[in-house]
Structure 1
Amino acid sequence: MTEREPFRTRIKVRHYELDTLGHLNHAVYHSYGEVSRLELLEAAGGLENFVKAKLASVLLETHVVFRRELRAGDEVDVTCDVKFGSGKTFSMDSNIFKADGTLAAEITCTLGLMDLERRKLVADPRGKFEAAGADLKLLSTSEG
């Protein structure tokens, strides 16, 4: 069995994203993770049904481990992979790779699906994604 690759988004590091040391500002790594998460959710489909159901994903926690510096002009691939558990939360983890394949950063995130009327997290986010018509195999390499 071949292991599937997670979803990837290509991003170019811009000059205005640099800090005083000339490398990518720490906060921008979080933005790159957000870009990849949103691109994945859009590509997987089902978001229109979330809007109709008054559901939205909410970021509860995020953590970055910096491995290598990124500089202006670098092109990076940002992966995103969902892991569903048994509770109300799920993870959407990303890795940022330089063009030569070097791991530049690891981002781990915990999210939930919020009922926008009740302002509470809903149970079984995987089931909600499935019911919304999302492509679970695109969202998660863990899906068969």
Structure 2
Amino acid sequence: MTEREPFRVQLKVRHYELDTLGHVNHAVYHSYAEVARLELIEKAGGLNGGLRDRGVAAVLLESHISFRKELRAGDVIDVTCETKFGSGKTFVMNSDIYKADGTLSAEISCTLGLMDLERRKLVADPRGVCEQAGMDLALLGGSAA
């Protein structure tokens, strides 16, 4: 059995994203992962209707990054994103950032929840809410953690 390829977006490193050392500022890596998460949620059907119609939205609770290789201006990168649901109120969305030659530049793991926007509390079953909202769980990579 072959593993499914994770969702990915391609981005280009911009000059204004660099720090004084000439490589991408640490905070920008988190922005790259955010772009991939939002693109994935949108493509899976969670932004236009979906979650919003149910009065919920994804909320970032924790983020961890491991830097592997620096990125510089002009680099074209692929940012992956894959979701892992557990049994509780939270789920994980992992992203890897690859340089054009396939070199792993960073690994980012984010813990999220779905917040009920009226109650301002996390929903008990985020995977179930995503499914009820008509989101494509296969595209999300919505496996159990």
Instruction: Give the TM-score band, short-chain normalised.
Output: over 0.9
Please name the residue that 1:103 is paired with: 104
Please name the residue that 1:7 is paired with: 7
The aligned runs of 1:10-25 (5 Å cut-off) are: 10-25=10-25
**Deviation sequence 1:3-25 (CA, Å, 0-9, x none):** 11100000100000000000000
**Deviation sequence 1:23-70 (CA, Å, 0-9, x none):** 000000000000000000001113312111110000000011000000
Contact 1:5–1:141 under 8 Å retained in 2: no
Please name the residue that 2:35 is paired with: 35
- Percent of matched pairs sharing the same residue: 73
Q: Could you state the TM-score of these two structures normalised by the residue count of structure 1? A: 0.97
Please name the residue that 1:78 is paired with: 79
Q: Which amino acid aligns with 1:21?
A: L
Contact 1:23–1:72 under 8 Å retained in 2: yes
Q: Distance in 1 between matches of 2:67 and 2:51?
A: 33
C-alpha RMSD of matched pairs (Å): 1.0
Please name the residue that 2:26 is paired with: 26
Change (3 A) 1:141 1:101: farther
Q: Distance in 2 between matches of 1:139 and 1:34?
A: 14
Q: Distance in 2 between matches of 1:50 and 1:96?
A: 27
Q: Distance in 2 between matches of 1:123 and 1:140?
A: 20
Which range moves more in the overlay, 132-141 or 77-86? 132-141
Quote the offset at 1:141 in angstroms.
6.2
2:134 aligned counterpart, secondary structure: coil
**How many pairs were matched up?**
143
1:113 aligned counterpart, secondary structure: strand
Which runs of 4 or more aligned residues in structure 1 lie more than 2 Å from their structure 2 counterparts after TM superposition? none
Q: Which amino acid aligns with 2:97?
A: I
Change (3 A) 1:141 1:87: closer
Contact 2:50–2:135 under 8 Å retained in 1: no
Which range moves more in the overlay, 43-52 or 69-78? 43-52
- What residue ranges of structure 2 are gaps of 5+ in the alignment? none
